[in-house]
């Protein structure tokens, strides 16, 4: 069995639950069909298993180091990324006009999910490059695009996102990096950037930094931030990397996980010669960044899901193989031991992981289909509501897996016991890798404010009401299905409760009180949304189970979907319900806590 993917599950989600085939009927993605998608996934799986997975432990153990001002990574990292480039995957989600494959975003997420499951820290370099290229494609001038885009899509030049500074993480309004325009129209940047993933490496021929900075004289705070393209090597007239730009690697951060990705403190303009090019208009940098936020945050969720899924697959494999103990009702020591997987508590641990990983994956891919619908849908009203849905679910797609898939990793370790805690097995590494996802691209609490204030408060509940209606429609259908009626009933109770909580929260005029339990709300809301997607999975599975002509293994797969859905709707919704109830109270126990009490 594969230790990075369950392709039957992936096909089920893409084609049976999310109807990816519909995309192939559209203008934008008509050049794809199911066969092509499967072929691309086959190729991705093969490269991920051959070039990424075998070196994941090495990338973790041999942390990047600094030598002569350069960041050095194991050769296997470069080899993996070259294989990724050779297969054309850097160009996957880009328009054909730019030399891309113009694949739907959902396919890109499915592909990246395979690589993330195999070796997330190495895959990061590719994802960051694609994100930077996307920014350049949407907001960069034709001239900048002409010079920088093609080598990025070929995977010869990598990209980075330079947002945080040592003193400004969550509070981007407080960045200090300065960009002053020179006589030639280009800018000179000066300042430090912190936590820059892929900020230095010797793998790619050039690095294209996307840098937030302030042009002197602009507005204060977030409204005075501009976006710049700053290359590691300036280009010569032929467009080749030439002399080195004035960017210094000050140091590498040592991290708990994701150690295969260099993480840098960079200094720009130490000698006043750091050349950068404005992207779009001055002072609109944060707005541009936020344009890409949905995709970036869904990408973080993808990593969290993949880490959990890979650990789940490993734990299942281990639990089948490892003999330990006897059933509770047959404990005769003269009898042979049974595989771990025969113990109910081990099944519970696996069920919980499956529920989180496959539930998170359904959320991730569902959100990716919303990104695609923004491309394919013409009707402006539908477009608007699709965008509303995507924006509403983005903080969920980022945070829910960061929390629940991390917990799944915790339980994968538990299945392996002492072996799970040992670095000879991958599950502890996946747990460490996953812990970052709650932090980067907007921390948990930031996502919570985004959801409640901007996404729900911002349109006075329009998008969330539409979602609630969709959930109710699914529930109504599911009520007709005997096996799912009680799970659907539970989801219905949760949705009613959620609806009431939203009304209460929107009615609250005291912003501090409204947002005091925003994080609890986000988490509970996320569980309800994933519960809805699990109900959809269970419905598809149950209908298929009632069809003739399914093989035994297909029936087992479908029955597993049905049972896991029921598990989620019973066990996980119960937690969410407790959280949402607390939000309805507008409780101020924490809000009113004096900071001196700690």
Residues with a catalytic annotation lie at 441
Q: Report residue 191 CA to chain centroid gap.
A: 29
- Cβ–Cβ < 8 Å for 106, 368: yes
358 vs 105: CA distance, rounded Å: 18
- Segment near a copy of itself (CB under 8 A); pick from 198-206, 238-246, 273-281, 559-567: 559-567
214 vs 291: CA distance, rounded Å: 19
**Residue by residue, what is the 3-state secondary structure of 273-311?**
CCEEEEECCCCCHHHHHHHHHHHHHHHHHHHHHHHHHHH
- Strand, helix or coil at 423? coil
Residues 222-251, interacting with a copy of itself (CB under 8 A): 222
Q: How far is the CB of 15 from a copy of itself (least distance, A)?
A: 21
Inter-CA distances, 393 with 17, 127, 490, 523, Å = 18, 21, 21, 12
Q: How far is the CB of 400 from a copy of itself (least distance, A)?
A: 15
- Segment near a copy of itself (CB under 8 A); pick from 298-306, 460-468, 539-547, 569-577: 569-577
The tokens for 31 are: 């050049």
The tokens for 299 are: 């990408």
- Segment near a copy of itself (CB under 8 A); pick from 23-31, 91-99, 356-364, 443-451: 443-451
Q: How far is the CB of 85 from a copy of itself (least distance, A)?
A: 28
Q: Under rule CB under 8 A, how many of the chain's residues touch a copy of itself?
A: 102
Cβ nearer to a copy of itself, comparing 31 with 254? 254
- Segment near a copy of itself (CB under 8 A); pick from 185-193, 301-309, 432-440, 465-473: 432-440
Residues 167-186, interacting with a copy of itself (CB under 8 A): 167-171, 173-174
Taking CB under 8 A as the rule, does residue 19 contact a copy of itself?
no
- Cβ–Cβ < 8 Å for 573, 355: no
CA-wise closest residue to 391 among 405, 377, 371: 371
Q: How far is the CB of 258 from a copy of itself (least distance, A)?
A: 8
Q: How far is the CB of 72 from a copy of itself (least distance, A)?
A: 18
- Please identify which residue in 384, 563, 584, 586 interacts with a copy of itself, judged by CB under 8 A: 563
Taking CB under 8 A as the rule, does residue 436 contact a copy of itself?
yes
CA-wise closest residue to 537 among 357, 267, 294: 357
Cβ nearer to a copy of itself, comparing 25 with 511? 511
Q: How far is the CB of 256 from a copy of itself (least distance, A)?
A: 4
Q: Which helix (H) or strand (E) holds 320?
A: helix 285-321
Q: Which helix (H) or strand (E) holds 195?
A: strand 187-197
Per-residue contact string for residues 56-85; x = within reach of a copy of itself by CB under 8 A: ------------------------------
Taking CB under 8 A as the rule, does residue 567 contact a copy of itself?
yes
Residues 138-167, interacting with a copy of itself (CB under 8 A): 164, 167
- Cβ–Cβ < 8 Å for 105, 92: no
Residues 110-139, interacting with a copy of itself (CB under 8 A): none
Residues 489-548, interacting with a copy of itself (CB under 8 A): 511-512, 515-519
- Please identify which residue in 36, 479, 559, 586 interacts with a copy of itself, judged by CB under 8 A: 559
Taking CB under 8 A as the rule, does residue 256 contact a copy of itself?
yes
Q: How far is the CB of 574 from a copy of itself (least distance, A)?
A: 4
5 vs 52: CA distance, rounded Å: 13
Pairing label, strands 157-162, 206-214: parallel
Residues 352-381, interacting with a copy of itself (CB under 8 A): 354
Q: How far is the CB of 464 from a copy of itself (least distance, A)?
A: 20
Q: How far is the CB of 581 from a copy of itself (least distance, A)?
A: 7
- Please identify which residue in 35, 379, 424, 548 interacts with a copy of itself, judged by CB under 8 A: 424
Pairing label, strands 206-214, 225-231: antiparallel
- Please identify which residue in 69, 182, 418, 549 interacts with a copy of itself, judged by CB under 8 A: 418
Cβ nearer to a copy of itself, comparing 52 with 567? 567
Angle ∠(588,593,596) on CA atoms, nearest 5 = 170
Q: Which residues of 276-302 are buried (b: 16+ CB within 10 A; e: fewer)?
A: bbbbbebbbbbebbebbbbbbbbbbbb
Return left, alpha or beta for 208; rule: phi > 0 is left, psi -120 to 50 is alpha, else beta. Answer: beta
Return left, alpha or beta for 185; rule: phi > 0 is left, psi -120 to 50 is alpha, else beta. Answer: left
Taking CB under 8 A as the rule, does residue 575 contact a copy of itself?
yes
Residues 306-345, interacting with a copy of itself (CB under 8 A): 316, 319-320, 323-329, 332-334, 337, 339, 341-345
Residue 459: how many other CB atoms lie within 10 Å: 16
Cβ nearer to a copy of itself, comparing 93 with 360? 360
Q: How far is the CB of 506 from a copy of itself (least distance, A)?
A: 16
- Segment near a copy of itself (CB under 8 A); pick from 7-15, 77-85, 362-370, 575-583: 575-583
417 vs 429: CA distance, rounded Å: 14
Taking CB under 8 A as the rule, does residue 257 contact a copy of itself?
yes
- Please identify which residue in 18, 351, 357, 451 interacts with a copy of itself, judged by CB under 8 A: 351
159 vs 205: CA distance, rounded Å: 11
Hey, what's the torsion of the CAs at 443, 445, 448, 450, to 10 degrees? -60
- Segment near a copy of itself (CB under 8 A); pick from 226-234, 235-243, 370-378, 409-417: 409-417
Cβ nearer to a copy of itself, comparing 83 with 178? 178
- Please identify which residue in 248, 362, 497, 577 interacts with a copy of itself, judged by CB under 8 A: 577
Cβ nearer to a copy of itself, comparing 209 with 440? 440
Pairing label, strands 187-197, 178-181: antiparallel
362 vs 404: CA distance, rounded Å: 14
Residues 24-63, interacting with a copy of itself (CB under 8 A): none
- Cβ–Cβ < 8 Å for 488, 478: yes
- Please identify which residue in 348, 382, 469, 543 interacts with a copy of itself, judged by CB under 8 A: 348
294 vs 365: CA distance, rounded Å: 13
Beta bridge partners of residue 276, listed in sequence order: 187
């Amino acid at each position: 069995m594969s230790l990075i993917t369950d392709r039957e599950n992936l096909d089920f989600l893409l084609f049976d639950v999310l109807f990816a085939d519909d995309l192939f009927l559209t203008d934008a993605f008509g050049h794809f069909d199911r066969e092509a998608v499967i072929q691309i996934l086959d190729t991705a799986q093969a490269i991920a298993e051959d070039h990424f997975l075998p070196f994941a432990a090495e990338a973790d153990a041999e942390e990047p180091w600094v030598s002569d001002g350069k960041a050095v990574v194991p050769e296997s990292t470069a080899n993996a990324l070259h294989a990724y480039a050779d297969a054309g995957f850097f160009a996957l989600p880009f328009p054909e006009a730019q030399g891309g494959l113009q694949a739907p975003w959902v396919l890109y997420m499915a592909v990246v999910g395979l690589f993330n499951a195999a070796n997330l820290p190495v895959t990061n370099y590719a994802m960051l490059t694609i994100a930077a290229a996307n920014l350049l494609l949407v907001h960069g001038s034709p001239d900048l695009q002409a010079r920088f885009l093609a080598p990025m899509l070929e995977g010869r030049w990598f990209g980075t996102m330079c947002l945080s500074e040592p003193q400004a993480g969550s509070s981007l309004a407080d960045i200090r990096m300065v960009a002053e325009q020179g006589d030639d129209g280009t800018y000179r940047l000066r300042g430090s950037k912190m936590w820059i993933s892929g900020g230095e490496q010797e793998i790619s021929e050039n690095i294209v930094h996307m840098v937030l900075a302030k042009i002197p004289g602009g507005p204060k705070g977030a409204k005075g931030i501009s976006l710049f393209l700053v290359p590691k090597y300036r280009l010569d007239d032929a467009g080749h990397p030439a002399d080195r730009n004035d960017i210094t690697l000050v140091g590498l951060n040592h991290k708990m996980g994701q150690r295969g990705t260099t993480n840098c403190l960079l200094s720009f303009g130490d000698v006043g010669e750091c050349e950068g090019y404005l992207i779009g208009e001055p002072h609109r940098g944060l707005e541009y960044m936020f344009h890409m936020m949905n995709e970036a945050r869904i990408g973080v969720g993808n990593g969290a899901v993949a880490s959990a899924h890979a650990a789940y697959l490993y734990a299942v494999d281990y639990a089948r193989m490892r003999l330990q103990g006897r059933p509770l009702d047959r404990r005769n020591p003269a009898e042979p031991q049974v595989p771990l997987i025969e113990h109910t508590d081990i099944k519970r641990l696996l069920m919980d992981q499956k529920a989180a990983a496959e539930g998170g994956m359904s959320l991730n891919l569902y959100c990716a289909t919303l990104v695609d619908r923004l491309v394919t849908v013409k009707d402006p009203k539908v477009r608007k509501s699709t965008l509303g849905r995507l924006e509403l679910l983005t903080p969920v797609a980022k945070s829910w897996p960061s929390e629940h898939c991390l917990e799944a990793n915790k339980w994968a370790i538990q299945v392996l016991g002492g072996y799970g805690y040992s670095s000879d097995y991958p599950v502890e590494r996946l747990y460490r890798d996953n812990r970052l996802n709650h932090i980067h691209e907007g921390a948990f609490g930031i996502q919570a404010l985004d959801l409640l204030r901007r996404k729900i408060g911002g349109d006075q509940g329009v998008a969330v009401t539409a979602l609630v209606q969709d959930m109710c429609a699914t529930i109504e259908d599911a009520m007709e299905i005997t096996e799912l009626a009680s799970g659907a009933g539970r989801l219905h109770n949760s949705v009613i409760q959620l609806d009431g909580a939203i009304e209460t929260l929107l009615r609250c005029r005291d912003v501090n009180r409204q947002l005091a339990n925003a994080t609890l709300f986000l988490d509970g809301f996320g569980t309800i949304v994933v519960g809805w997607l699990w109900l959809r999975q269970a419905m598809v599975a149950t209908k298929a189970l009632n069809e003739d002509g399914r093989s035994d293994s297909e029936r087992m797969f479908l029955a597993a979907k049905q049972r896991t859905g029921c598990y989620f709707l019973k066990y996980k919704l119960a937690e969410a319900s407790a959280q949402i109830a607390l939000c309805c109270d507008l409780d101020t126990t924490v809000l009113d806590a004096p900071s001196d009490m700690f």
